[in-house]
């Protein structure tokens, strides 16, 4: 008789480790002590190794033969490249959605923007979740599951960088989302793509500053800064 793998336990360990990698509770470039981590998580070697290998395949961790697993490094070049790929994916997604989405689909997104428009009483984590939801919801309108999966992975890998200054960018982000969506409602794909490009490239141009700020928060604030990121797929 073939025993089934404890997939539930592997998934639980994976989700916990992924959250630790996303918000850099695993420090950039830090070698992962598997024994200590297994003890902390109350996990045996097999589900821990499966979870670590899965995170390597998703580029949250790296593996060096003979040395072990490491958290991804905090490199300006790496973050810049992620933004380049994000822009390419989203330009395609927004162009496709402009052509494919129904008026009702786009109207629902407009209602979402109206419901979440208030600038008071919202944490940076909540603001970032709203932002991710908008972009991923548009990607979902393409009916391309692989595109959505890739965008979610990219968003998770740059989430910390976007979080550090989300509060200051919120009014601008909200107005830009509305302009992009209006272009989609007008079925003007070229205008939507141009507005989206400006929206993402403006942030990309500030990457060096963002990486320095992230480095400061991770290594100089005694670990008290870790955000509790929210599920961008939650219905608001």
Other Cβ atoms within 10 Å of 224 Cβ, number:
6
Q: Which residues of 114-133 are buried (b: 16+ CB within 10 A; e: fewer)?
A: eebeeeeebebbbbbbbbbb
- What's the whole-model pTM score? 0.85
Mean pLDDT of 20-45: 93
Mean pLDDT of 96-121: 90
Task: Using the predicted structure, report yes or no on whether residue 187 has a pLDDT greater than 90.
Answer: yes
Give the chain's domains with CATH numbers.
Answer: 7-71 (1.10.10.10), 76-220 (1.20.120.530)
Give 63-108 pLDDT, tens digit per residue: 999 999 999 988 889 989 999 999 999 999 999 999 999 999 999 9
Give 192-218 pLDDT, tens digit per residue: 999 999 999 887 777 888 888 888 888
Dihedral (Cα; 198, 200, 206, 211), 10-degree rounding: 180
Three-state SS string over 143-157 comes to CCHHHHHHHHHHHHH
Beta strand 61-64 with 68-71 is antiparallel
Other Cβ atoms within 10 Å of 216 Cβ, number:
12
For 142, what's the count of Cα atoms within 13 Å in the CB-facing half-sphere? 19
């Amino acid at each position: 008789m073939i025993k089934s793998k404890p997939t539930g336990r592997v998934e639980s360990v994976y989700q916990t480790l992924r959250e630790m990698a996303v918000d850099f509770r695993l420090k950039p470039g830090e070698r992962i002590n598997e024994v200590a981590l297994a003890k902390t998580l109350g996990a045996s070697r097999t589900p821990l190794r499966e979870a670590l290998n899965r995170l390597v395949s998703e580029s949250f961790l790296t593996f060096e033969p003979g040395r072990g697993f490491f958290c991804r490094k905090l490199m300006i070049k790496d973050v810049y490249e992620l933004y380049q790929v994000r822009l390419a994916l989203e330009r395609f997604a927004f162009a496709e959605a402009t052509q494919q989405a129904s008026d009702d689909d786009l109207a629902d997104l407009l209602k979402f923007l109206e419901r979440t428009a208030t600038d008071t009483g919202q944490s940076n984590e909540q603001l970032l979740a709203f932002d991710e939801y908008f972009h991923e919801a548009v990607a979902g309108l393409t009916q391309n599951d692989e595109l959505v999966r890739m965008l979610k992975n990219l968003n998770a890998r740059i989430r910390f960088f976007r979080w550090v200054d989300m509060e200051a960018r919120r009014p601008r982000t909200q107005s830009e989302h509305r302009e992009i969506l209006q272009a989609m409602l007008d079925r003007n794909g070229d205008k939507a793509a141009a507005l989206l490009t400006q929206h993402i490239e403006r942030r990309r141009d500030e990457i060096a500053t963002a990486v320095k700020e992230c480095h400061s928060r991770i290594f100089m604030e005694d670990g008290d800064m870790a955000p509790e990121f929210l599920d961008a797929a939650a219905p608001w």
